[in-house]
Amino acid sequence: MNFPDLHRHLGGATHPRILWGYIEKHATDECRRLRSLYPAYDDFAREFNRPFADLADYLTVHHLVEALQAEDVPYFTFRAVRGASVFESLDYLELRFNPYKRTPRGLPPAERRALMADVARQVIRAARTEFPIATTFLLCMDRGFPPDLNRAIVELAASLPEVVAVDLAGPYQPGGPTWDEWEDLYAEAKARGLRTTAHMAESDPDDVRPALFPHLDRIGHGIQIALHHPHLLDELAARNICLEVCPTTYLRTNTLRHLGELRPVFERCRAAGVAISIATDNPALHGDAGRIVGQYELLVRDEVIHFNDILHHARVGYENAFDPRR
């Protein structure tokens, strides 16, 4: 059978072996820098496979990958989409990325902003492969970006027909938008006809923003809502907000000790009528178990879902996809 994946980051979609192959073949400043830090592939791969202390530590690998992907966005995009089709039986993929973070870091901010549209178009073109997979795109705003840069990302997303939605990602940092400003940004995105999702309640039980609910179609992760704020599930159900649950991520970030802790998330969401789509997030950081089939297998083995629920959750993914053909 085939599967959809509604939550996958470009930064976490490329296997470290492919990244290392690029590093070995090129003599750019970034490739030389990485070769000096990681003399051999095993050293490099260890950075992806090592235990992470928490979500912030886990996200440091994104920073490493983004600078490298900025050198040749089409190269890494094509290989990420090809692998998803061939090795994971995905026939629908939503690929999310921040276009600003894939511009050269040495350039002045104004020049980097000017390049965002070209970066986004490169990703879109490179994802058009001969493999039987439909790929749509989400642009990520960032919690640490100033409001005007996040607004530019919304405007860019609205200008590109292949971009279906915007997301809110990244760690909290000084200088980012206030929550009133986030509401304004999401309201603008909806007014421009974009779909919306936001990383929320992934590892921090206090990272819950009900004021954003009226502006959201889906929530990235959201497991802490079900675990610590189940009284909010009725509102999610009433608004038809689907959760994008990425099981292996919670083990890798030490958010959960074992996947059995997700059992009440699925049980409470099912009782409240909140849809759950199962996704991968960053399979390159999760080993073979991080592939989409591995996510389902782990949930079944830990008795979070029943084997017979696999088709249900795959169907939920298709039903809640931001697929422009629907």
Res. 77 pLDDT band, cuts 50 70 90 = very high
pLDDT digits (tens, 9 = 90+) for 277-305: 999 999 999 988 899 999 999 999 999 99
- 223, part of any domain: yes
Res. 172 pLDDT band, cuts 50 70 90 = confident
Res. 147 pLDDT band, cuts 50 70 90 = very high
pLDDT of residue 154: 98
Angstrom distance (rounded) from CA 244 to CA 5: 9
Calculate the dihedral angle through the C-alpha atoms of 238, 242, 243, 246, rounding to the nearest 10 degrees: 160
CATH code of the domain in which 56 resides: 3.20.20.140
pLDDT at residue 255 greater than cutoff 80: yes
Angstrom distance (rounded) from CA 257 to CA 253: 10
pLDDT at residue 324 greater than cutoff 80: no
Please state the rounded mean pLDDT for residues 79-90: 96
Q: Report the alpha-carbon angle 312-315-320, nearest 5.
A: 125
pLDDT of residue 325: 66
Gyration radius of the chain's alpha carbons: 19
Are 287 and 15 a contacting pair, CB within 8 Å? no
Res. 171 pLDDT band, cuts 50 70 90 = confident
Angstrom distance (rounded) from CA 141 to CA 75: 23
- 326, part of any domain: no
What is the DSSP secondary structure assignment for residue 51, as one 8-state letter? P
Domain that holds residue 11: 3-319
Report the chain's mean pLDDT, rounded to a whole number: 96
pLDDT at residue 251 greater than cutoff 70: yes
pLDDT of residue 257: 97
**Least confident residue range of 141-150, 171-180, 199-208:** 171-180
Domain count of the chain? 1
Res. 174 pLDDT band, cuts 50 70 90 = confident
Angstrom distance (rounded) from CA 240 to CA 234: 10
pTM assigned to the model: 0.97
- 218, part of any domain: yes
pLDDT of residue 178: 93
pLDDT at residue 103 greater than cutoff 80: yes
- 324, part of any domain: no
pLDDT of residue 288: 84
Angstrom distance (rounded) from CA 100 to CA 265: 34
φ, ψ (nearest 5 deg) of residue 267: -65, -45
Angstrom distance (rounded) from CA 210 to CA 154: 21
- 325, part of any domain: no
96-to-132, 136, 186, 233 alpha-carbon distances in Å:
19, 9, 17, 26
Across the chain, where does the E strand assignment appear?
3-9, 90-97, 134-142, 163-169, 195-196, 199-200, 218-221, 242-245, 276-278
pLDDT at residue 220 greater than cutoff 80: yes
Res. 175 pLDDT band, cuts 50 70 90 = confident
Q: 325 burial class (0-12, 13-18, 19+ CB within 10 angstroms)?
A: exposed
pLDDT at residue 207 greater than cutoff 70: yes
pLDDT of residue 326: 58
- 207, part of any domain: yes
Angstrom distance (rounded) from CA 276 to CA 253: 20
